[in-house]
């Protein structure tokens, strides 16, 4: 379970997030939707313990991200904004490296890596260096790497960004699978269809604030619009930076 209360963070004179609060339960897919620059990535980086908020708290399974960062990281799988792979390592070596950093070893690690790569259809290229991989394959490797330690909470920053149709489908299937396993899934996107198709709950972020929070139906009801897209535009106040 992930809970964020009144997060505030500035970089120099720029306020990246002003006041962000939301809650993401286990077994639920929570979407962070907002235009580029709304503060989604900063919020997720605070959750992944790499950035300290100036005000507010971020909690993972009741642990404070600022104080218990190591314990939080153990319970968290993160697909960051930048996928960040090592060109000269193979897909399998990426999983091994991160698995070992999580304290996994030997057969358990091999089994888990194999499972994940089969699930995301990477087994054909598992022992190739990732430098020749397509965008889709890279994202899949980064996803497997984020999940290698079987984390109860999963944070995905724009997981389908730049992917082709087949890879997008694979990622969607994976997200549904993670939900079915009872994990807490938070993902950010500026693609509305993505959020509409996958999320049980939608948190709309604009200009560093949460402007709407609820199910797709609740959003439609609140704005009086039948069309989700128009509902979004209404709560954000403009359609700048959104992709339908």
Partner 1 sequence: MSAPGLLSGARTVLKKELVDHFRDRRSLTSGLLVPLLGPVLFTLMFTVLADLSRKDKPLVVPVRGQVHAPSLMAFLERNGAKVEAAPDDAEQKVRDGKLDLALIVPEGYGRDFVAGRMAKVELVVDSSSNKARANVRRMERLLEGYGAQLGALRLLARGVSPTLAMPVHVEEIDLATPERSAAAVLGMVPMFLLMAVFIGGMYLAIDSTAGERERGSLEPLLINPVTRAQVVLGKWTAVVLVSWVSVVVSMVGFSVALRLVPLQDLGIRAQLDAGPMVAMIAVALPLTLFSGGLQMLLALFSRTFKEAQTYLSLLMILPLMPSMFISLSPIEPKTWMMAIPAFSQTVLLNNLLRGDAITPLWHVVSAVTTLAAAGVAVGAAIWLIGQEKIVFGRGAGTS
Q: Is residue 97 within the footprint of partner 1 (CB under 8 A)?
A: yes
Interface stretch with partner 1, choices 24-32, 99-107, 175-183, 218-226 (CB under 8 A) = 99-107
Q: Is residue 101 within the footprint of partner 1 (CB under 8 A)?
A: yes
Among 59, 60, 104, 170, binds partner 1 (CB under 8 A): 104
Q: Tokens standing for 221?
A: 């009801």
Among 50, 166, 240, 243, binds partner 1 (CB under 8 A): 50
In the bound state with partner 1, the residue whose beta carbon lies nearer, of 23 and 74, is 74
Quick count: other Cβ atoms within 10 Å of Cβ 54? 12
Within a 13 Å sphere around the CA of 150, how many CA atoms are in the beta-carbon half?
9
Residue 204's DSSP bridge partners are 33, 212
Q: Tokens standing for 122?
A: 């990477």
**C-alpha to C-alpha distance for 233 and 242, rounded to whole angstroms:** 8
Size of residue set near partner 1 by CB under 8 A = 46
C-alpha closest to that of 235 among 192, 188, 186: 192
Give the residue carrying structure tokens 């549904």. Answer: 176
**C-alpha to C-alpha distance for 132 and 208, rounded to whole angstroms:** 37
In the bound state with partner 1, the residue whose beta carbon lies nearer, of 46 and 174, is 46
Minimum distance of partner 1 from residue 215's CB (angstroms): 26
In the bound state with partner 1, the residue whose beta carbon lies nearer, of 62 and 103, is 103
Q: Burial letters for 17-46: b for 16+ Cβ neighbours within 10 Å, e otherwise?
A: bbebbbbbeeebbbbbbbbebbbbbbbbbb
In the bound state with partner 1, the residue whose beta carbon lies nearer, of 40 and 201, is 40
Interface stretch with partner 1, choices 116-124, 140-148, 166-174, 212-220 (CB under 8 A) = 140-148
| Order of strands, sheet of 201-206, starting from the edge strand that comes earlier in the sequence | 63-64, 55-60, 2-11, 14-24, 209-214, 201-206, 29-33, 184-189, 153-157, 76-79
Q: Is residue 42 within the footprint of partner 1 (CB under 8 A)?
A: yes
In the bound state with partner 1, the residue whose beta carbon lies nearer, of 83 and 179, is 83
Interface stretch with partner 1, choices 19-27, 143-151, 193-201, 211-219 (CB under 8 A) = 143-151
Site for partner 1 in 72-91 (CB under 8 A): 73-74, 76, 78, 80-89
Minimum distance of partner 1 from residue 180's CB (angstroms): 22
Q: Is residue 240 within the footprint of partner 1 (CB under 8 A)?
A: no
Give, for 171, the enclosing helix (H) or strand (E). Answer: helix 165-180
Q: Which residues bind partner 1 (CB under 8 A)?
A: 11, 14, 16, 36-42, 45, 48-52, 70-71, 73-74, 76, 78, 80-89, 93, 97-98, 100-104, 129, 142, 145-146, 149-150
């Amino acid at each position: 379970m992930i809970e964020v209360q009144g997060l505030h963070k500035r970089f120099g004179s720029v306020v990246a997030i002003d006041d962000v609060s939301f809650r993401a339960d286990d077994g639920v897919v929570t979407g962070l939707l907002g235009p580029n620059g709304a503060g989604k990535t900063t919020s997720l980086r605070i959750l992944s313990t790499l950035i300290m908020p100036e005000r507010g708290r971020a909690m993972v399974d009741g642990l404070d991200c600022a104080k218990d960062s190591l314990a939080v990281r153990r319970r968290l799988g993160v697909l960051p904004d930048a996928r960040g792979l090592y060109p000269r390592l193979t897909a399998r070596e990426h999983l091994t490296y991160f698995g070992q950093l999580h304290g996994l070893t030997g057969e358990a690690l091999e089994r888990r890596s194999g499972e994940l790569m089969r699930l995301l259809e990477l087994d054909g290229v598992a022992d190739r260096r990732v430098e020749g991989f397509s965008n889709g394959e890279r994202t899949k490797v980064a996803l497997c790497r984020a999940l290698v330690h079987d984390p109860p909470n999963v944070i995905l920053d724009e997981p389908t960004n730049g992917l082709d149709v087949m890879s997008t489908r694979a990622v969607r299937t994976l997200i549904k699978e993670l939900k079915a396993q009872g994990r807490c899934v938070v993902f950010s996107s500026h693609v509305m269809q993505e959020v509409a198709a996958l999320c049980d709950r939608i948190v709309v972020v604009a200009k560093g604030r949460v402007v709407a929070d609820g199910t797709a139906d609740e959003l439609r009801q609140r704005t009086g619009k039948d069309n989700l897209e128009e509902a979004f535009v209404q709560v954000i106040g403009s359609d700048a930076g959104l992709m339908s």
